[in-house]
Chains A and B, each alone.
Chain A
């Protein structure tokens, strides 16, 4: 299959960054919101995102510091942001 073509497409997709399309939960007012599902399965790993809202209204996915109120229930790994 066409590896160069998909490489170009993927480069586009990754470089452009972006935010989640449909969110199950958006909590927090400007300038920081997080996008996480309201529930995840046991033993499942899910990405969370932190989104900062600029004064001009633009959204930016940012590298936040993540923590959990109870790591025995939900823990944070280094791919959380």
Chain B
């Protein structure tokens, strides 16, 4: 069904074998929410306001971080609560401490993982873990987007899964979206192995680079990564692992498929597919883009550490920016983590393993 007249409602009917069901559906205004922050005070009980250099809230409201206990935080995006008809996605990346990773967590009052729209605010639970799965304090980078922050015509998809052991369509959840109007399909193939499909999104994304971000979203220390992307067939393969031993383990996850950023503003992403290169290389064109039009050059700087230079995307004075990382590829030995340890000018995200890096910006 397609919404047309903002502020109006219509009744939708379904007829099947003599039975009729109906529901009233209203048409709401746009949802271009965007917010991000770099939570830079891991030990502060808070609530505190993170570094303004790496903070943006499209509502103009505050962003505050509160620490509940070791490695357990909540982030409140004031004014970014979900509007009628709105949908949202959140990604979290650990920052700064080698071997530490952070993710969207759950809250005790809600059996499902993920974030909540509370009043006019969006509240995101976050948890950080050391490589052995124990809770630990850490800085982290967080990004939230609404239904269509990059424009109504921009191919985009996202989903938050809920640990189903079968296959489900997530279309009507407020945390899933397929910009083409197709289903948002989720399937579990085996323990820790999942597939997502966004029918129509591959075709809509044809001819433009695609970025896929995946992160576990649960109250456990399990981790998730992208293991396969099949753009022509709208598909993404996801694998989740246990922190100790690296064995496969089920986990809800959050996923974002995007193709570009806000019109006229800095944006870049890359899949750094060469783990061994120490001199710099051109990443796979199908999964790399820079609004500067200049090359993106990842390279390995040490064991499990990498840098990616987005030439021409240095942060202008007074502007803000956000960086997210997601590991790509099959499970690695214990100690494989993803995190950012630097964020200055146009370079210095680091990651254990290969990475895919969308680069959101407010300007």
Contact = CB atoms under 8 A, between A and B. Distances in A.
Contacts, number: 264
Nearest to B146: A41
Interface stretch (B18-26, B69-77, B126-134, B336-344): B18-26
A69 B22 CA distance: 10
Contact of B182 (A48, A73, A79): A79
A49 B169 contact: yes
B274 interface: no
B317 interface: no
Contact of B181 (A35, A45, A50, A65): A45
A47 B171 contact: yes
B235 interface: yes
Contact of A44 (B147, B168, B197, B228): B147
B15 A65 contact: yes
Q: How large is the interface on B (under 10, 10 to 19, 20 to 34, 35 or more residues)?
A: 35 or more
B189 A8 contact: yes
B278 interface: no
Given A21-B164, A72-B5, A6 B229 contact: yes
B233 A10 contact: yes
Contact of B9 (A34, A66, A73): A73
B164 A70 contact: no
Contacts of B22: 27-28, 34
A20 B230 contact: no
Contacts of A38: 23-26, 84
B13 A67 contact: yes
Given A62-B16, A69-B11, A74-B27, A10 B167 contact: no
A47 B25 contact: no
Interface in A1-53: 1-3, 5-10, 12-25, 27-28, 31-50, 52
Contacts of B236: 6
Contacts of A79: 181-182
Contacts of B235: 6-7, 9-10
Given A28-B21, A36-B172, A50 B14 contact: yes
B283 to A, nearest CB: 13
B237 interface: yes
A13 B171 contact: no
Given A27-B22, A73-B8, A74-B12, A45 B2 contact: yes
Nearest to A26: B23
Cβ-closest 7 pairs across A and B = A13-B187, A45-B181, A28-B21, A9-B195, A16-B167, A39-B85, A6-B228
Given A49-B169, A81-B14, 6 more contacts: A6-B195, A10-B197, A13-B196, A47-B183, A50-B16, A66-B13
